[in-house]
Amino acid sequence: MKEPQPKNTAATVADVARLSGVSKATAARVLGGYGTVSDKARDAVMLAAQELDYRPNELARSMTTGRSGTIGVVVGDIENPFFGSAVRGISDAARASGFNVVLANSGEDVAAERAAIETLVAKRVDGLIVSPAQESTIGHLEDIGHAGRPLVLLDRAIAALAVDSVTADDRQASEAVTRLLVERGHREIAYVTACDTPTHLYRDTSDILTASVRERIEGFLEVGAQAGIADMPRWVRLGANTPDATRRLTIDLLREATPPSAIIASDSLIALEIFKVAREHGIEMPEALSLVTFHDAAWTAVTTPPVTVVRQPVYEMGEAAAKMLIERLSGEPCAPRHLVLPTQLVERASIAVRGNQAAGPRIWSL
């Protein structure tokens, strides 16, 4: 074999072919993992590639094979533990099938989401998994199909898009947790969620541009109506998109003439800020304020009191989304699928029983 070239020069397929003493076509077949070659030629090529520290040109490979071996993922908030768990499920399933994952964060902004998708498509990802910020603006999602790439929606289905999707049973979960609070005697129950709207007060479903948010609110209101709580809609608070916004919403709620006896948080980041506000102002939990949150974040089990949660199968949702996408990339012929995974209500010590003697107004210095 000839002397290898210096390591500071990027090795090419031609370099590997020369060093191994085979044709460029044979070296390309070995390095690309396709076609048939002899064991002797394969061993020679792999040894030469190792000596040259050869690295494949992924762009050239994708142009040759039509595949890059990558999946693009766009999530709403990478700081949210929910999306972290989902991405882990996606990555594990992708890796098991030989795919890498390229991650982008939209910040729940449609313009940022659109830009991220355009960038990923330009990088020739084979398919995309997206947690859409809104269901009313979907042109950029439709463009993914026009670009010849399969799309799977994560956590938020959109009926107008004929694509695969994976969600949790959000409405059922919301009904279950609201019903639990009602059964424990609570009548003033607030629901706090992140949602970009002109006002923090809920008016009707036209304010809600994300299916999962809307389904949870609908479940919350339905159980309230069944329990005869006429003013349930006034307890819905939108716009808890940042820690500061959540703190302001929480303080405003607790300053009500008759403040809520219980709060349902739509995710663990919101719940953490509510918990901190209660602690900072000496509000006893759960005696004065009960708390429940969606997503079983690690912190919820170690606080005093530990927080009751809706445990969502987040890792499994990500894993299922990746598997559905890979099936599409393998040519799986079937109609669009919507996989709905069940949730689990994990009751801890953050809910108090409200009796008639405790049903009056609670006044705190906020």
| pLDDT mean over 147-176 | 95
Residues 348 and 303: beta-carbon distance below 8 Å: no
Which tokens sit at 282?
């000496």
Measure the CA–CA gap between 177 and 183, rounded to whole angstroms.
10
- The secondary structure of 207-241 as a DSSP string is G--SHHHHHHHHHHHHHHHHTT-TTGGGGEE----
Beta-bridge partners for 103: 73
- In terms of pLDDT, which residue wins out, 190 or 200? 190
66 or 103: which leads in pLDDT: 103
pLDDT at residue 230 tops 70: yes
pLDDT for 196: 64
Which residues are registered as beta bridge partners of 236? 191
The predicted structure's pLDDT at residue 277:
97
- The partner residues of 269 in beta bridges, in order of sequence, read none
Give the pLDDT score at 37: 85
Per-residue pLDDT tens for 31-51?
Answer: 876 678 898 999 999 999 888
Amino acid found at 348: R
Judged against a pLDDT cut of 70, whether residue 193 lies above it is answered with yes
Mean per-residue pLDDT, 163-182 = 96
pLDDT per residue over 207-227, tens digit each? 787 888 999 999 999 999 999
pLDDT at 293 over 50: yes
**Residue-level pLDDT at 60:** 55
pLDDT tens-digit series, residues 74-95: 999 998 999 999 999 999 999 9
Q: What is the C-alpha to C-alpha distance for residues 261 and 254, in angstroms, rounded to an integer? A: 9
Mean per-residue pLDDT, 191-198: 80
Give the mean pLDDT of the chain. Answer: 88
Sign, Cα dihedral of 175, 179, 181, 187 = positive
The secondary structure of 95-148 as a DSSP string is HHTT-EEEEEE-TT-HHHHHHHHHHHHHTT-SEEEE--S-SS--HHHHHHHHTT
Residue 41: φ, ψ to 5°: -65, -40
pLDDT of residue 6: 46
Q: Tell me: pLDDT of 366 over 80.
A: no
- Of 23-27, 39-43, 129-133, 330-334, give the lowest mean pLDDT range: 330-334
The gap between the terminal CA atoms of the chain, to the nearest Å, is 80
pLDDT band at 148 (very low <50, low <70, confident <90, very high): confident
Per the DSSP assignment, residues forming a β-bridge with 201 are: 237
Distance separating alpha carbons of residues 176 and 84, to the nearest angstrom: 25
Q: How far apart are CA 50 and CA 305, in angstroms?
A: 57
Helix (H) or strand (E) holding 75: strand 70-75
Transcribe 289-312 into DSSP letters.
-EEEEES--GGGGTSSSPPEEEE-
ω into residue 305 within 30 of 0, thus cis?
yes
What does the angle CA 229 – CA 235 – CA 236 come to, to the nearest 5 degrees? 120
Q: Which of 52-56, 138-142, 171-175 has the lowest mean pLDDT?
A: 52-56
Please count the residues of the chain: 366
Return phi, psi of residue 40, to 5°. -65, -45
The helix-helix angle for 243-254 and 268-280 (nearest 10°) equals 50
pLDDT confidence bin for 68, thresholds 50/70/90:
confident
Lowest mean pLDDT among 2-6, 16-20, 225-229, 264-268: 2-6
Sign of CA dihedral 171, 172, 173, 179: positive
In the predicted model, is pLDDT for residue 65 greater than 70? no
Question: What average pLDDT does range 51-80 have in this prediction?
Answer: 77
